[in-house]
Chain A
Amino acid sequence: MTATSFHLTRSSPALSLGLVVALGVLLAVVIVSVLYGAADIGAATVWAALFSYDGSTEHLIIRTLRVPRALVAVLVGGSLAVAGAVMQGVTRNPMADPGLLGIEAGAALAVVAAVHFQGISSLAVYTWFALAGAALAAVVVYALGSAGRGGITPLKLTVSGAALTALLSSLTTGILLLDRRTLDEVCFWLAGSVAGRDLGLMLQALPLICVGLLGALLLGRKVTTLSLGEDVARGLGQRTAWVRAAAALVVVLLAGGAVALAGPVGFVGLVIPHAVRFFVGVNYRWILPYSALAGAIFLVLADVAGRLILRPQELPVGVMTALVGGPFFVYLVRWKVRR
């Protein structure tokens, strides 16, 4: 019934080698992303801009626009994919994703509210508001999803997430309708975009994302055990409450950091872990590092595609991921969700 050959346990050497290959692919797509843009800049000039900078317009474009853009896509794609994988493992819910469960919407609302009420216009403080918003939304969606009889189920969690996302997004829209100035400042950001982010903002989000990624990788083995179910994991001697709390913290750091950088980019956290599982199996020790690399590759490619499709116009990367993720979501609902 299922493609069993793909689910066989892969040996560690093959999987380690695969990570190196994925890293190479990531490097290649980053180079492609830096090479292609609105202005035609030759490979030699790009090289020179990186290693013998002379301050010319072309060099400036490479250094301040294209390189940060590619790096932001790497960070955001990796963060969201890992956050999604951790959420799917811990909640045993194939539809868990920081976008679908309202965590990104929470971070986005917090940022928009901060811009509107506090008049904060610098992107740099987005990070802290995004984190707080992500954390609050995570607490609310988890409380809603586990309320009532039978505790937390995939269906309840997903419905709670959808409801919360709708509520938070409409509040965000409400603020933007009332306040054109805020709208102008955050419009492109809100659609999910990796363009126009300066290195300063990246440096602020970087430590959070790094701590989140490291934490996720350390949790890998425990998430695998927890994915067998709460009672089984506790019977095996796991302190599940601690693992869940640590996982929630990791998700908030990664999703909050990603939203601060690029706005709410949907579906990366949903699609990538499933694709990765198809190749590496169900062990989170491998799912998590592969998700980080695959998510980064996916978002860089989505961003490049967004630049090419309507040239010279650009589509925000969030639109591109939704184009891929929407149909995939329907596929999951139809075939993969057991009640």
Chain B
Amino acid sequence: MGEICTERLTLAYDERAVVAGLDIVIPTGRVTALVGPNGCGKSTLLRGLARLLKPRGGSAYLDGRSIWRMPTRELARQLGILPQAPVAPEGLTVRDLVAQGRYPYHGWLNRWSEADEEAVARALDITGMVDLAHRPVDALSGGQRQRAWIAMALAQETKVLLLDEPTTYLDMHHQLEVLHLLRRLNREEGRTVVLVVHNLNHAARYSDHVVALSDGKVVAAGTPQEVVTSEVLREVFGVEAHILSDPDTGVPLCIPYALCENSNVRAPSMDSFAAPHTGHIHV
């Protein structure tokens, strides 16, 4: 279980509709990458799926139940979200951060349990943070810090994990480290993973399902082979690109080489946010 879908989901900041009337289905037990240009609504969509942003219309559903009808704690036991570039309070240790992942399992009274301890130990182990458990988060390198936050989300023991740009600000090595970790969580533990990612080659290589968004609507969704194509890149990013096939895995690799003429992708402006779009895609 852990199936996420939306029905005519409309998300807006102030008066600007960023996502309007969106219907999507996120495949269960897979890694899904949300890609698209800046301001296309991918982070907004992720926030909408995680109940961080109240929809103007429609809803997101988890296993057929509207997430807005679920008790807060229950949702947090089924769905975890790692926001973009979170900042830990100065001096907070990795272990204390990871222990916060147990928050949805605690009411006013119940004490720290054996199950809590095991969940924290497992999360530290999977992310390779055991040796760093007593270090302050702010003293870690960028990659280690991101792993610490992922460990917190793991201690939450949710079947769905949403991550907003988990590889941004990381160097190449640490980006791969995080992506490998996410794929392992999916393959070995069957968690549904949804991530917003900028690098299309990463999206193609590490996800099973790619959703390309532009102006708040879905332009293409499907396997990496179906989505990472010259046409989609032209329409979504306004770039001309060669699409090669990875010699080892066969997944598409894109090499952008020029900007499209008459590109309909502009720097995000107020107009492009305001235009209502309806995207329909069923997988």
Contacts and interface: CB of A to CB of B under 8 A. Distances in A.
Binding between chains A and B:
yes
What 9 A-B pairs come out closest when comparing CB atoms?
Answer: A237-B76, A237-B104, A235-B81, A231-B83, A7-B91, A236-B103, A237-B73, A282-B92, A237-B72
A8 B93 contact: yes
A190 B50 CA distance: 49
B96 interface: yes
A165 interface: no
A235 B153 CA distance: 9
A277 interface: yes
A204 interface: no
28 contacts: A1-B139, A7-B93, A7-B136, A9-B93, A9-B134, A218-B108, A224-B100, A227-B89, A228-B86, A228-B88, A228-B89, A228-B92, A232-B100, A234-B51, A234-B52, A235-B50, A235-B52, A235-B81, A235-B82, A236-B101, A236-B156, A237-B75, A237-B104, A281-B92, A281-B93, A281-B96, A282-B89, A282-B91
Given A2-B139, A235-B81, A238-B103, A229 B72 contact: no
A277 B81 CA distance: 28
A106 B282 CA distance: 57
B77 interface: yes
A196 to B, nearest CB: 40
Interface string A3-41: 010011100000000000000000000000000000000
A238 B91 contact: no
A181 interface: no
A103 B4 CA distance: 45
Given A8-B93, A9-B93, A237 B83 contact: no
B7 interface: no
Interface residues of A, number: 28
Contacts of A228: 86, 88-89, 92, 97, 100
A231 B86 contact: yes
A238 B101 CA distance: 11
A282 B86 contact: no
B235 interface: no
Contacts of B73: 237
Contacts of A4: 135-136, 139
Interface string A193-217: 0000000000000000000000000
A252 to B, nearest CB: 23
B205 to A, nearest CB: 27
Interface string A41-70: 000000000000000000000000000000
A281 B91 contact: yes
Interface string A231-274: 11011111100000000000000000000000000000000000
B90 A282 contact: yes
Interface residues of B, number: 38
Nearest to A89: B89
Contacts of B93: 7-9, 281
Contacts of A158: none
A283 interface: yes
A160 interface: no
Contacts of B88: 228
A225 interface: yes
Contact of B96 (A9, A232, A238, A277): A9
Given A232-B83, A232-B100, A237-B73, 13 more contacts: A4-B139, A7-B93, A8-B134, A225-B103, A231-B81, A234-B51, A234-B52, A235-B76, A235-B81, A235-B82, A235-B153, A237-B74, A282-B89
A247 B52 CA distance: 21
A231 B134 contact: no
B96 A237 contact: no
